[in-house]
A and B are shown apart, each in its own frame.
Chain A
Amino acid sequence: MHLDVNILHEPEEYLRYVRRKGLFLIGAGLVLVLLFLVALAIGSSFIPLPEVIAAFLSPSGEHVSTIVLNIRLPRVLSAVIAGAGLAAAGVVMQSVLRNPLSSPYTLGVSHAAAFGAAFAITVLGAGSISHLVSDSMVVRNPCLVTICAFFGAMLATAGLLLVAKYRSSRPEVMILVGVALAALFTAGTTFLQYFSSADQIAAIVFWTFGDVGRSTWSDLLLMVVIVLPSLGYFFFTRWDYNAIDAGDETAHTLGVNVERVRTLAMLLSSLITAVVVSFLGIIGFIGLVSPHMMRRVVGCDQRYLLPASCIAGGILLLGADMVARLIIAPAVLPVGVLTAFLGAPLFLYLLIGRNVV
């Protein structure tokens, strides 16, 4: 078939609509950057924004510069990367499983990763609570913990994919499988705790409170190395998710290898979850809420939904962490506690409210 493109008019209104989405993404990106700088400024000692920026431009090794670059920057970067990664995992899982309730947390993948991490800490002796730095947990072997967390997450993902392929991928079935997996791996973690020393129990319990303040520069590097390429892959295959959203059969006739896209998307989502959980602990709700918030604002088109969700995830986790640092200052609350406190009401409000753009 041949289409004549000597058309009478350009789709003006549609192009305006596309520009509006683009502007929204840019705006949201600017909000994230602003929040990023503010997050560097506030804390136990307030550092004015100009000094924050100055610390970036010319790292002097002075007191202010040390606080900004060595203490706050890893924490703030972790929040942004973990938030964006979890949100992307949520968006992609929701698409390929065709299930709006999917996220690393609701499908039990986070719990499985936490079990893997707990296994590494107790049985393989990869970490213990350090009493030298207050409120901080030292992992002696972060690679081992990540690998075990990843195997845990993979187990859960394999279970989900097998049920989806051979039984049913109906939303209620997937969620029930998720509930079962979460219960199973939580029981497994409890089992490990029962046979652990007091120190190890403290380590595991502390672990399950998600906290972005744990990560060191080397943790952060591993997160970046895993999360950013995954996000890149997701964005590169955004049209495949759009096609799958239109139905498996339609996707197939549009040239999409549905099975492969689905498996790869689930594997990468689990990998992101595993790396975030093993360094920061369980952070619920970001992966579920960010895509839904953004779906109500930019719609279901993955071209906009994917980047918008990543930005929203970064903003949410960063914002939650800022509140967590301030609410009972000078003590710091683990952010995992707060994401649900902030996310749930926001989510309810958005469900009740109307579409914005």
Chain B
Amino acid sequence: MILTVAGLSFRYNGQRILEEVEFRVNRHEILAILGPNGVGKTTLLRCINTLLRPQAGRILLDDQDLLSIGRDEVARLLAYVPQRGETGPILAFDAILLGRRPHIGWDVRREDIQKVQAIIDQLHIGHLALRPINSMSGGELQKVLIARALVQEPGLLLLDEPTSSLDLKNQVEILAFLRMIVRAHSLTAILTMHDINQAIRFADRFLFLKEGMVYAAGTREIITPELIREVYGLPVTIAEVNGMPVVVPGLDQLHPPETSLPAE
């Protein structure tokens, strides 16, 4: 599915959070929303999942305006993976089955159970299926939450900081996993991220927010030291490691020049 966001503005208590946000993501693509803390990344995600109602703008999924359809319909079009789900002693299987909620009438059907099993098989998380999710590690839980989103059979997948609480190995695993399913199921995915380098490795498009506005959007080519300095307020150099650009914070920032002490 193609997501087109046009002229989206959101105010909260009269304060401008997002202003005239415009971008577009194609099928099979992962878009990373980047920018410093408090710039409105999560707010933008919440506008797209219709939890927040923007004062102006349109959010089109193919030709359908998400802001003008009911929440049941939205739930069949997009799925959302929260940064940290509430966890109780619920089996992973049941937690994933919850993703069928928009499709469930009076009760789960055999087909729903089979779809859950299918997704568990595809994601190779059979060993987690009968474990309660409150006993899982961050990486395991993240996979279960992604499985729940997938079993919802959406066209658009939204993820809020999917790697923020994970160690390096799990970060890479989750993102590789995500890229694999986006390609395999012709999904569109949007995620917010802090780690620019992980984003460069796994995302196809990038959206840099600054002061609630789109500062830059595009493919990897747009990422330059100037851009990062403007958006994050930090001088950086971009090196190349194994053919991948790597953003390195400016050294002078990490080691401020020593002030010369007055001679005794």
| A68 to B: closest C-beta gap in Å | 37
Check if B263 is an interface residue, CB within 8 A of chain A. Answer: no
Residues of chain A contacted by B101 (CB below 8 angstroms): 239, 242-243, 254-256
The contact of A1 among B88, B132, B153, by CB within 8 Å, is: B153
Does B90 belong to the interface (CB within 8 Å)? yes
**Contact among B111, B150, B186 for A5, CB-based, below 8 A:** B111
Instruction: Give the interface size class of chain B.
Output: 35 or more
Partner of B130, one of A3, A9, A13, A253: A13
Q: Which residue of A lies closest to B126 (CB)?
A: A11
Closest Cβ neighbor of B130 among chain A residues? A13
Q: Indicate with 1 or 0, residue by residue over B41-67, a CB within 8 angstroms of chain A CB atoms.
A: 000001001110000000000000000
What string of 1s and 0s marks CB contacts (under 8 Å) between A244-269 and chain B? 01110110111111000000000000
A98 interface hit (Cβ, 8 Å): yes
Q: Smallest Cβ distance from B119 to chain A, in angstroms?
A: 6
The reply to whether the CB of A17 lies closer than 8 angstroms to some CB of chain B is yes
Cα distance A337–B89 in the bound complex, in angstroms:
33
The smallest C-beta distance from B5 to any residue of chain A, in angstroms, reads 17
B102 contacts A254, C-beta separation under 8 Å? yes
Contacts of A239 in B (CB 8 A): 98, 101, 104
Does B94 touch A at the CB level, under 8 Å? yes
Report if A254-B117 is in contact (Cβ < 8 Å); known contacts: A2-B185, A3-B153.
Answer: no
* From A1, A8, A250, A301, contact of B85 by CB (8 A): A250
In Å, the complex CA distance between A2 and B187 comes to: 10
For the complex, what is the distance from the CA of A141 to the CA of B64, rounded to whole Å? Answer: 57
B93 A246 Cβ-Cβ under 8 A? no
Interface size class of A (residues with CB under 8 A): 35 or more
17 A-B Cβ contacts within 8 A?
A2-B185, A4-B118, A5-B111, A7-B121, A11-B114, A98-B86, A239-B98, A247-B82, A247-B85, A249-B51, A250-B85, A252-B49, A252-B51, A255-B102, A256-B101, A257-B71, A299-B132
- A9 contact set on B, CB distance < 8 A: 117
**Which residues on B sit within 8 Å (CB–CB) of A236?**
106
Contacts of B155 in A (CB 8 A): 1
- Residue pair B75, A1 in contact (C-beta under 8 Å): no
Instruction: Identify the closest chain B residue to A254 (Cβ).
Output: B101
B130–A14 touching, CB < 8 Å: yes
- Whether, in the assembled complex, B21 has its beta carbon less than 8 Å from a beta carbon of chain A, the answer is no
How many Å lie between the Cα of A141 and that of B185 in the bound state? 65
Chain B residues whose C-beta falls within 8 Å of the C-beta of A5 in the assembled complex: 111, 114-115, 118
Q: Are A243 and B113 in contact, with the CB atoms below 8 A?
A: no
Q: Which residues of A contact B46 (CB under 8 A)?
A: 249
Q: Is B9 part of the contact surface with A, judged by Cβ < 8 Å?
A: no
Residues of A within 8 A of B118 (CB): 3-5, 7
A283 to nearest B CB, angstroms?
A: 27
Chain A residues, Cβ within 8 Å of B51? 249, 252-253
| A positions within 8 Å CB-CB of B | 1-5, 7-11, 13-15, 17, 98, 236, 239, 242-243, 245-247, 249-250, 252-257, 295, 299-301, 355
| Known contacts A8-B121, A239-B104, A253-B49; A246 and B115 CB within 8 A of each other | no
Shortest A40–chain B CB gap in Å is 34
CA distance A17 to B132 in the complex (A): 13
Q: Which B residue's beta carbon lies closest to that of A251?
A: B101
Distance between Cα atoms of A98 and B88 in the complex (Å): 11
Are B114 and A1 neighbours in the complex by a CB distance under 8 Å?
no
Q: What sequence of 0s and 1s flags, for each residue 151-188 of chain B, a beta carbon within 8 Å of any chain A beta carbon?
A: 11111001000000000000000000000000001110
Contacts of B117 in A (CB 8 A): 7, 9-11, 14
Q: State A299–B75 Cα separation when bound (angstroms).
A: 26
Instruction: Collect the chain A residues with CB atoms within 8 Å of residue B113's CB.
Output: 11, 14-15
By beta carbon, the residue of chain B nearest A257 is B71
Q: Which of B82, B85, B90, B129 contacts A11 (CB 8 A)?
A: B129
Q: Which of B89, B104, B152 contacts A300 (CB 8 A)?
A: B89
Interface residues of B in 104-161 (CB under 8 A from A): 104, 106, 111, 113-121, 129-130, 132, 150-155, 158
Q: Is B31 interfacial (CB 8 A cutoff)?
A: no
B116 contact from A1, A11, A98, A245, Cβ within 8 A: A11
Output the nearest chain A residue to B71 by Cβ-Cβ distance.
A255
State whether A243 touches B98 (Cβ < 8 A): yes
| CA distance in complex: A3, B118 (Å) | 7
Question: What's the Cα separation between A48 and B45 when bound, in Å?
Answer: 67
Between B79, B88, B187, the greatest number of chain A beta carbons within 10 A of the residue's beta carbon is seen for: B88
Which of chain A's residues have a CB closer than 8 A to the CB of B99?
254
Q: Is A255 in contact with B82, judged by CB distance below 8 angstroms? A: no
Cα of A69 to Cα of B50 in the assembled complex, Å: 56
Say yes or no: A1 contacts B82, CB within 8 Å.
Answer: no
Q: How far is the CA of A9 from the CA of B121 in the complex (A)?
A: 9
Give Cα A10–Cα B116 distance, bound, in whole angstroms. 10
Which B residues are in CB contact (< 8 Å) with A243?
A: 98, 101
State how many angstroms separate the Cβ of A19 from the closest Cβ of chain B: 12
**Contacting residues of chain B (20-42) with chain A, CB-CB under 8 angstroms:** none
Q: Which of A7, A8, A14, A236 has the most CB of B within 10 A?
A: A14
> Shortest Cβ distance from A306 into chain B, in angstroms?
13
Docked pose: A61 CA to B104 CA in angstroms: 50
Please, how many angstroms separate the alpha-carbon atoms of A11 and B185 in the complex?
A: 23
What residue in chain A is nearest B101 (Cβ atoms)? A254
Q: A239-B98, A301-B90 are in contact. List 13 more A-B contacts (CB 8 A).
A: A5-B114, A7-B121, A10-B114, A11-B93, A14-B113, A17-B130, A250-B86, A253-B75, A254-B75, A254-B101, A255-B72, A255-B76, A295-B89
